[in-house]
């Protein structure tokens, strides 16, 4: 009895250590297809990354490419681990042949930490939306704010689960609210600025995840502070998007300024508390 208990604990410990270790693992590329404005690519791999974390894949270039999961095994049999990722058109992964084995490092980095939040707010620019997609059904109530330069670049709304409350924003006012997200300028006639709506959503949420250009995070952090007097740590998290060539903190390319000094995006992030940026 005692032996079996010890053996169980030991195997759990080994499994935990295995999960924590950075791995060089083989992944199998399954397929890629266009889903404008992105391409979707699917990989089978033993240890897929969590939302906001990433893997580095060797696609033959001088450096590995970082891939973020856009969904993790949502429609796969549970015996096959894997993930889908969304890439820009012309990404080298879109040219792989189905069944090709590729070398992957990871999972790497610290992903989104939403805990048991029941009201989740997701905010993204169209180009950086994919890493937030695995979170669309991560809480009972999810609100998604997507900002795009213009209507034509917004992803089709029927791709999102019907339970997600969608807020569309365009910078030219051609659809939805008028952006940018953080702008307080008066809106032209017949248009409505998104900023008051965003502040309202931040006040509503129990956790907020942002995926925008890095230079916008200070202004978005100011919005968070305006909407929540003392946000708890990790209430609002931001995905920092920088090149991460090595993925383990050796090359110093991904150093990111935070209030606690410079951090490595690849090991301390790439998801940080937005108020620390």
Partner 1 sequence: MIELAPHHKFGLPIASPVMPAAGAFGFGDTYHDLVDLRVLGALVTNPVSFTPRSAARGQRIAIHGEHFVTHTGLPNPGVKRVLRQHRQLWARLPIPVIVHLIATTPAETARAAEQLSGIPNVVGIELGLVDNITPQRALNLLDAARAEGDLPVIVRIPFTGVDALAPLLVDHGADALTLIAPPRAVLPVSDTLEGSEARRYLRGRLYGPALFPLLLNILARWCSKLPVPVIACGGIASLQDAIACLELGATALQVDALLWRNPAMVQCIAEGLAAFDTSRD
Q: Site residues (CB under 8 A) for partner 1?
A: 21-24, 58, 61-64, 103, 105, 243, 245-253, 255, 257, 262
Give the chain's length.
Answer: 277
Min dist CB 256 to partner 1, Å, is 8
Q: Which is nearer to partner 1, 167 or 174 (CB)?
A: 174
Structure-block tokens of residue 55: 């893997």
Min dist CB 250 to partner 1, Å, is 4
Are the beta carbons of 114 and 209 closer than 8 angstroms? yes
Q: Which is nearer to partner 1, 177 or 272 (CB)?
A: 272
Min dist CB 236 to partner 1, Å, is 24
Q: Which is nearer to partner 1, 196 or 243 (CB)?
A: 243
Burial class (CB in 10 A: 0-12, 13-18, 19+), 232: exposed
Q: Which is nearer to partner 1, 20 or 229 (CB)?
A: 20
Q: Which is nearer to partner 1, 204 or 245 (CB)?
A: 245
Q: Cα(62)–Cα(57) distance, rounded to whole angstroms?
A: 11
Min dist CB 167 to partner 1, Å, is 26
Query: Could you tell me the CA-to-CA distances from 2 to 8, 10, 14, 194 in Å, in that order?
Result: 10, 12, 18, 61
Give which of 155, 49, 45, 29 is closest to 92, Cα–Cα.
29
Q: Cα(272)–Cα(277) distance, rounded to whole angstroms?
A: 7
Are the beta carbons of 112 and 209 closer than 8 angstroms? yes
Min dist CB 265 to partner 1, Å, is 11
């Amino acid at each position: 009895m005692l032996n079996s208990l010890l053996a169980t604990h030991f195997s759990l410990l080994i499994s935990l250590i295995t999960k924590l270790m950075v791995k060089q693992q083989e992944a199998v590329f399954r397929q890629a297809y266009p889903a404008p404005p992105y391409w979707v690519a699917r990989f089978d791999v033993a240890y897929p990354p969590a939302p906001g974390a990433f893997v580095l894949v060797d696609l033959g270039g001088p450096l590995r490419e970082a891939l973020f999961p856009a969904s993790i095994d949502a429609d796969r049999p549970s015996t096959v681990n894997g993930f889908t990722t969304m890439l820009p058109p012309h990404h080298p992964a879109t040219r792989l042949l189905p069944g090709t084995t590729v070398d992957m490092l990871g999972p790497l980095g610290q992903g989104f930490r939403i805990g048991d939040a029941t009201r989740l707010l997701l905010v993204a620019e169209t180009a950086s939306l994919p890493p937030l997609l695995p979170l669309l059904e991560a809480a009972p109530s999810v609100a998604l704010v997507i900002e795009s330069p213009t209507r034509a670049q917004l992803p089709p709304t029927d791709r999102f689960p019907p339970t997600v409350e969608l807020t569309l924003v365009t910078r030219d006012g051609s659809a939805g609210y008028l952006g940018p997200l953080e702008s307080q300028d008066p809106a032209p006639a017949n248009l409505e600025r998104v900023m008051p709506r965003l502040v309202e959503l931040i006040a509503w949420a129990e956790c907020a995840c942002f995926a925008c250009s890095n230079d916008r995070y200070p202004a978005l952090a100011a919005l968070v502070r305006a909407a929540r007097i003392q946000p708890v740590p990790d209430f609002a998290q931001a995905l920092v998007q920088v090149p991460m060539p090595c993925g383990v903190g050796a090359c110093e390319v991904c150093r990111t300024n935070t209030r606690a000094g410079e951090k490595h995006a690849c090991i301390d992030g790439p998801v940080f508390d937005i108020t620390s940026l």
